[in-house]
Amino acid sequence: MEGSVRKRGSKWYYSFEGAKINGKRMRYERVGGNTKAKALESLRKALNEYERSGIIEDLTDMSVQDYFDYWYEDYVVRNLKYNTQINYRNVIDSHILPYIGKYKLQAVQPAVIQKVIDNDFEKGLAKQTLSIIKTVISGAFKRAVYPYQMIRSDPTRYIQMPKYDQRHKSTKDDLKIITVEQFQTLQEYVPQSSPFYIPMMIAFYTGLRRGEALGLTWDNISFEEQTLTVEKIIVMKGKEWEIGTPKTQASYRTIDIGGQLVDLLKKHRKRQLENKLFYGQHYTDNNFICTKENGKLTTPHSIKHYGEKAKKQSGIEFSFHSFRHTHATLLLENGAIDKAIQERLGHARIGTTMDTYSHLTKKTKKETVDIFEKSFQK
C-alpha cells in the first residue's frame, strides 16, 4: 500500500487509499505536520496502523521486555489464575528478562533462547522449574506470532530441554512424607482449638491441597452420603484472601470420606455453634469449615504461621503438603487403584500421580515381585 503527501497552506498532508466500502474505494487524508519529512513519517505510521487493523505499536523497536510486559497484562492477567500470574511474573523477572529483555523482539534468535534454558540448567534448577520457564517463554513468543502478528516465526519452537539424570527420583524425604506415628505426635502439639487443627485433619484424611481445604463450606459436606465436594479454593492476593477456582477441571471433584473424619467434622460443627454463642456479636458468621475460634476464616497465612509453630514444637520436618503426599502414599501402599488415587487427588493426568508416588515405597515394589513369583506357582 502506498500513499502521498502534499502541502496545503502552511501544513503538509498525507493521504492513502483504503479498502472498498459498498464497492467504492475510500481515500483518507489527514494533517501530517509542518514539514514534508514529518508528513512522510506520519504517513508511514498511518499505513502501518491501517494494515495492522489499528495496532499502533512500532514493532521495529519493541524490546523483549516491553513485549513481555504487554503479553503479561493482555493475556496472563486476563486468562490465568492469580497464583499462576504471580508465578509467571516471577519467571519473567528472574529467568527471562535478565537474559533477553534488552534485545529487540524481532531480532531474537533460537540460539539466544536456548541459552536462557541452558544457563538455568547449569545453575542446578530442578527439571520441573525449568519446564515452567520453557512454558512461559514459549507461550509468550507463540502469541507474538499469532494473534499479535508481531514476529513471523516462533524462535522457541527449536528449544531443547537439557537431559536430566533420570535415576534420581523424589524420595519420601524430598516430599516430606510423614509416618502415621509422626502424624499422631503432631496431634499432641496441635490442640483442637488451633486454626491449624481442622485443615490438618482434612488434608491428612482426604489428600486435599491447602487452598481446597480452606475453601470448604458446610454445604460441601454430605454427612448422609459421607462425601466431600471440592468446588472452590482460598487464595491470597497480597494480605487479602479471596475465593478462587480449583487448579484444573479435574480438581473439581466429589470424594468419599470415612467415619473418622465424619465424626471429627460433626464435633467441629458443634464447636463452631458453641463459639458463635460465646462470642456473640464479635463472632464472624460464615459457612466456612476452617475457621478460628471467633469465626474468622483460616487463611493460607494462618496455616503457614501455625504450621511453623507445630514443626518447631514437635521437631517433625513437614509442610502442609506433606499431608497430601502422605495420604497418597498410604493409599498406594495399601493397594488402592492408581486411577482412584488420581481422581481422589484431583490430578488431571494419571502420569502425574504415578510419577510422583509409584516409586516411593519398598512395600509396593516387594508386592509387585511377589505377584510375579506367585504366577508360576499356580
Model's pTM, two decimal places? 0.70
**pLDDT by residue (tens digit) across 241-253?**
999 999 889 999 9
| pLDDT at 343 exceeding the cut of 60 | yes
Domain match, 226 and 359 both: yes
CATH number at residue 132: 1.10.150.130
pLDDT of residue 63: 93
Lowest-confidence region among 48-57, 107-116, 226-235: 48-57
Is 371 inside any structural domain?
no
Domain match, 132 and 40 both: no
Give how many domains the chain has, as a whole number: 3
**pLDDT by residue (tens digit) across 9-34?**
999 999 988 877 777 878 889 999 99
- Could you list the residue range(s) of the whole structural domain that residue 222 is in? 177-364
Of 158, 190, 217, the one marking the end of a domain is: 158
Report the distance separating Cα 206 and Cα 199, nearest Å: 10
Domain match, 292 and 216 both: yes
Cell of 177: 512424607
Of 158, 193, 221, the one marking the end of a domain is: 158
Report the distance separating Cα 166 and Cα 118, nearest Å: 18
Q: What are phi and psi of 226, to 5 degrees?
A: 55, 55
Residue 165 makes CB contacts below 8 A (sequence gap 6+) with none
Domain match, 149 and 36 both: no
| pLDDT at 375 exceeding the cut of 70 | no
DSSP codes, 150-163: -SSS-GGGG--PPP
Of 158, 188, 213, the one marking the end of a domain is: 158
Residue 162 makes CB contacts below 8 A (sequence gap 6+) with 117, 118, 121, 130
Domain match, 14 and 154 both: no
**pLDDT by residue (tens digit) across 32-67?**
999 999 999 999 888 877 776 655 455 557 899 999
First to last CA, the chain: 82
Is 163 inside any structural domain?
no
Domain match, 105 and 250 both: no
Domain match, 341 and 193 both: yes
Is 154 inside any structural domain?
yes
CATH number at residue 194: 1.10.443.10
Closest CA to 264 of 326, 320, 205, 314: 205
Domain match, 114 and 243 both: no
Report the distance separating Cα 98 and Cα 257, nearest Å: 48
Closest CA to 100 of 143, 133, 149, 127: 133
| pLDDT at 1 exceeding the cut of 80 | no
Domain match, 150 and 193 both: no
Domain match, 205 and 287 both: yes
Report the distance separating Cα 378 and Cα 372, nearest Å: 11
Report the distance separating Cα 211 and Cα 261, nearest Å: 19
Domain match, 197 and 318 both: yes
Report the distance separating Cα 137 and Cα 123, nearest Å: 18
Domain match, 226 and 360 both: yes
